[in-house]
Chains A and B, each alone.
Chain A
Amino acid sequence: MGAVPIRSSSLTREGSCLMSSNRLRIVGFAVAGLVVVALLALMAVAGAFRLFPPTPVTDRAHEIDGLYHFVFAIAVGVFVIVEGLIIFAVVRYGRKPTDTELPPQVHGNNLLEIVWTVVPTIIVAVMFVFSFNSLNKVDAVANTTDVRIRAVAAQFQWSFEYLSADGQQVQFEQLAPEMTVPAGRPVHLSLRSRDVIHAFYVPKFLFKRDVVPGRENVFEFTVDPADAGQTFRGQCAELCGTFHGSMLFTVKALAPADYDTWLAAQIEKARQSPPPAGSAAPGQLELQLEAKDVKFDKATLEAPADKPFSIKFQNDDPSVAHNVAIHDSTGQEVFKGEIFQGVDVRTYPIPPLKAGSYTFVCSVHPNMTGTLTVK
């Protein structure tokens, strides 16, 4: 074959191409339209759909929130411009039936290249300067506060050691995954891991920091005074094994005076020797329960209705904290036993319960659960 056949075949091909080209364009627009509709519907469906972080509750969180708003505004600007240019080109330059000649074969333009190299450089330089400034504020550690807490993470639990003002002694250890802090006073938090890497994350702090074995990370923050009395959700943010998703904790902010009272009471409690293992009153039912490898040994327990009974709980996990708490069918907590580290044993006296189905659970490890049937 020579030059002539390809010429004709290319022409016929061109013809058919043009006939369908309009239809294709309509399809293209339909696509774009559909997507816009879908996205709008999406926004409507989810009232909670927000492209902003939650309301910040610490000084650092306000800083980060401000930076996010700034960076996000630039991002939206860049997005709208570039996406706009693309959509404009798509809508405007579809091939028309009259387009048999080639469009101008422009190969480039050096001035434009310079513009779209330099302008983004300026933009990112500005973004960098702002985020660098914020970083210095967020990461500042003054080390002058006397509120010193050490969060200790282990598969799959949090505990909190309250340190003396010089940071040398542990005044008491909060074994439940609840950290209490004073609002309006700087808190110095250090992080320690007993096994793998975890991450301390409180969404409303807009902040997280890894808990790395072999190194102690520290940071500081001050909860807004206005948020005294609030409790914030926290959660491990670094994959740390099977129950990473259950590694929850809370942060409770107290007014400074309340915090001092609370702290003194806790220290006092810790000073008293740990409660004796105790034993059940004679004639009363004593259930046996054991925790090993972060699991209960039983999935079901049974107890008589409207009578007090006790649970003898054996914690076989060395230096892992467990307890037994009982929730009714609505999820309401009706009993919470003391949290203690293994290997050790406690006997919990349980108040009389109404007949029904309850769950027993470890407050430290929400994945440790079983059913308690009372009848």
Chain B
Amino acid sequence: MATTALTPAATGTRSSLYEWLTTTDHKKIGILYLVNSFLMFFIAGALALMVRVELAAPGIQFLKEDVYNQAFTIHASVMIFLFIIPILAGFGNYIVPLMIGAPDMAFPRINALSFWMLPLAAILILTGFLTGGAAAAGWTSYAPLSEAKYSGTGQDLWIVGVILIGTSSILGAINFLVTIFKMRAPGMTMFRMPIMAWTVLVTSTLVLLATPVLTSALIMLFIDRNYGGHFFDPASGGNAVLWQNVFWFYSHPAVYIMVLPAMGMISEVLPVFSRKPLFGYKAFVFATAGIGALGFSVWAHHMFTTGAVYLPFFSFMTFLIAIPTGVKMFNWTATLYRGQLTFATPLLFALGFLTMFLIGGINGAISAAVPVDFALHDTYWVVAHLHYVLFGGSVFGVFAGLYYWYPKMFGRKLNETVGKIHFVLMFIGFNLTFFPMHALGLAGMPRRIANYAPDAGWNDLNLLATIGGFTIAAGMVAFLWNIFVTMRSGEPAGDDPWEGNTLEWATSSPPPPYNFDHLPEIRSERPVFDARHKLSGGGH
């Protein structure tokens, strides 16, 4: 029998606020991440709606130019640094130790520290609005615009905030890597780990290698701004394009930091709701690693128009990176093939991911053709691309994961009907908002403008996008309603409501403090599936 070295299940105790504030339990920290990230999502989403209202018609109606620039800068910064990256880390925190049969993360206190840096960073970045203007140089903060001569103190707050978030990510990545390398349950070999764990592993490696470079760039910018440095100041021997090189050296790998764990999540959802194993498990592992490795060689595709990078190389590498992602697309599709699909909400969101990320990936590949990017760069085409991958990909993935694991986290299933309403509104709203942006970009509408000429021919599509934005917001209201309804009277989930494959379904919902009383035997990447079908004699 298993030893009882671990504390037995202590369910039913209600945690006090104090416990939440001081917890080092990876599950509670995971939930803190999720709650904080969703709060940030709503703040950034509200800013996006303000942007959309201003753009609904030509002219300046609602936000003056300076406020507009702050609005989209903080929208993007919060969405990326305080929503999507942390929420994926949050899922990783909650799920990965469970999936690999570990009692907690390797360094629980550092784990708590990583989390608590985030609200602090959020406060810093957002207080810019109260102290004479938040950062307004875009989330990319290109120098020299972000230098002291052209930007106010909001930029400094932004720099410090992003350094904090980066440090939080780096500590988190170390924690994930040690946990995955050292704390797997007996029998859980690397090639039996769920794909979700693999994606977190690769993501953490990317964080470890890329984020410190961003930190160095931010520090250089800070020195330029506050101590008379000249890194990015061409007038004194500095180099304006240097910022872009260092920033994108981080930020391109970062876009995979923003999507790989979401890919991991749908790689868990699709097999469960198809009642089939994931097609091509090893191909997934290699493709994920391949994306990670190639991700470091394409950064200059954001700089094609600078005239300062060697175009053919970066164009070629950017085309290449379509291949491992394509391998994943095909394997996901093959997982559905000849399955028995149950269209529960998690599957709908996962299918949303597949169909929408495909569009985002392909329109990314189109801009890998350098001359075409000369036309498309810094137009709404790029805004369309980034939302199709980030929203259509990552955010759909996040909701797939949330509907899937919510029962595990809280012991109740989210309401299916409201969930479907949420999905439908979000899916339609998303396409209404962002699909027209392809046409706007082609027609020549630059990004980051508050105002456009009434006779430029962009009015209708902009109005449509604004309507779409509010449709998404309606979907989010449905989502909040769902949480509310479920908290009051959600259907109890039981331990394994979806007939899951992976270890988290082998413990109670929510799991006890150290996760498992007993673990099933692990002989494949689907230990709980194996156990279920051996016991019930079904299947093969």
Contacts and interface: CB of A to CB of B under 8 A. Distances in A.
B494 A131 contact: no
Given A64-B375, A101-B538, A54 B443 contact: yes
Interface string A209-222: 11011110100000
B308 A212 contact: yes
B315 A131 contact: yes
A105 B372 contact: no
Given A124-B320, A131-B372, A24 B460 contact: no
Contact of A75 (B69, B343, B365, B499): B365
Interface string B349-392: 00100110011001101101111101101110000000000000
A134 B371 contact: yes
B424 A34 contact: yes
Contact of B448 (A9, A53, A79, A239): A239
A95 B341 contact: yes
B181 interface: no
A113 B287 CA distance: 11
A17 interface: yes
Contact of B339 (A35, A93, A134): A93
B8 interface: no
A369 B533 CA distance: 75
Contact of B277 (A39, A42, A94, A107): A107
A197 B145 contact: yes
A257 interface: no
B305 A108 contact: no
A105 B540 contact: yes
Interface string B421-455: 00110011001100110110011101111111100
Interface string A301-326: 00000000000000000000000000
A214 B354 contact: no
Interface string B258-278: 000000000000000011110
B326 A120 contact: yes
B340 A96 contact: yes
A115 B440 CA distance: 36
Nearest to B238: A214
Interface string A31-51: 100110011001001111111
Given A113-B280, A209-B374, A213-B144, A120 B323 contact: yes
Contacts of B235: 213-214
Interface in B311-367: 311-312, 315-316, 319-320, 322-323, 326-327, 329-331, 333-334, 336-344, 348, 351, 354-355, 358-359, 362-363, 365-366
Nearest to A68: B372
A116 B379 contact: no
B241 A212 contact: yes
A92 to B, nearest CB: 9
Nearest to B330: A116
Nearest to A70: B369
A335 to B, nearest CB: 21
B469 to A, nearest CB: 14
B345 to A, nearest CB: 9
A90 interface: yes
A31 B475 CA distance: 14
A67 interface: yes
A130 to B, nearest CB: 8
Contacts of A142: none
B81 interface: no
A244 interface: yes
Interface in A226-283: 233, 235-246, 248
A240 B147 CA distance: 12
A49 B351 contact: no
B65 interface: yes
Given A93-B339, A117-B323, A207-B374, A128 B315 contact: yes
A117 B327 contact: yes
A105 B276 contact: yes
Interface string A157-189: 000000000000000000000000000000000
Contacts of B329: 82
B323 A124 contact: yes
Contacts of B372: 64, 67-68, 71, 131
B358 A82 contact: yes
A214 B234 contact: yes
B535 interface: yes
B536 interface: yes
Contacts of A3: 535
Interface stretch (A198-206, A342-350, A351-359): A198-206
B432 A42 contact: yes
Contacts of A299: none
A171 to B, nearest CB: 25
Given A54-B444, A113-B327, A239-B448, A103 B460 contact: no
A135 B306 contact: no
A90 B270 CA distance: 11
B49 to A, nearest CB: 19
B196 to A, nearest CB: 18
Contacts of B375: 53, 64, 68, 203, 206-208
A130 B372 CA distance: 11
Given A103-B275, A195-B144, A210-B307, A235 B442 contact: no
B442 A197 contact: no
B446 A195 contact: no
Contacts of B187: none
A103 B338 contact: yes
B539 A50 contact: no
B457 interface: yes
Nearest to A116: B330
B142 to A, nearest CB: 6
A196 B144 contact: yes
Most buried by A among B149, B448, B494: B448
A10 B320 CA distance: 45
B464 A42 contact: yes
A239 B65 contact: no
Given A21-B342, A71-B366, A113-B283, A235 B446 contact: yes
A6 B379 CA distance: 56
Interface in A48-68: 48-54, 60, 63-64, 67-68
B146 to A, nearest CB: 9
B184 interface: no
A140 B409 CA distance: 59
Nearest to A133: B371
Most buried by B among A54, A64, A96: A64
B137 interface: yes
Interface in B188-223: none
B130 to A, nearest CB: 19
A78 B365 CA distance: 11
Contacts of B539: 101-102, 105
B279 interface: yes
Leading 3 A-B pairs by shortest Cβ distance: A214-B234, A203-B444, A245-B449
Interface of A: 3, 6-7, 9-10, 13-14, 17, 20-21, 24-25, 27-28, 30-31, 34-35, 38-39, 42, 45-54, 60, 63-64, 67-68, 71-72, 75, 78-79, 82-83, 85-87, 89-90, 93-96, 99, 101-109, 112-113, 116-117, 120-121, 124-125, 127-128, 130-132, 134-135, 138-139, 155, 195-197, 199, 201, 203-204, 206-210, 212-215, 217, 233, 235-246, 248, 367
Given A14-B499, A89-B341, A209-B374, 9 more contacts: A13-B494, A35-B431, A50-B443, A86-B354, A89-B337, A113-B280, A120-B323, A134-B369, A214-B239
28 contacts: A10-B536, A13-B497, A25-B343, A31-B420, A64-B374, A68-B372, A68-B375, A89-B337, A89-B341, A93-B339, A93-B341, A94-B341, A95-B342, A102-B276, A103-B339, A105-B276, A112-B334, A113-B283, A113-B331, A117-B323, A128-B319, A155-B150, A195-B150, A196-B150, A197-B144, A197-B240, A239-B448, A244-B69
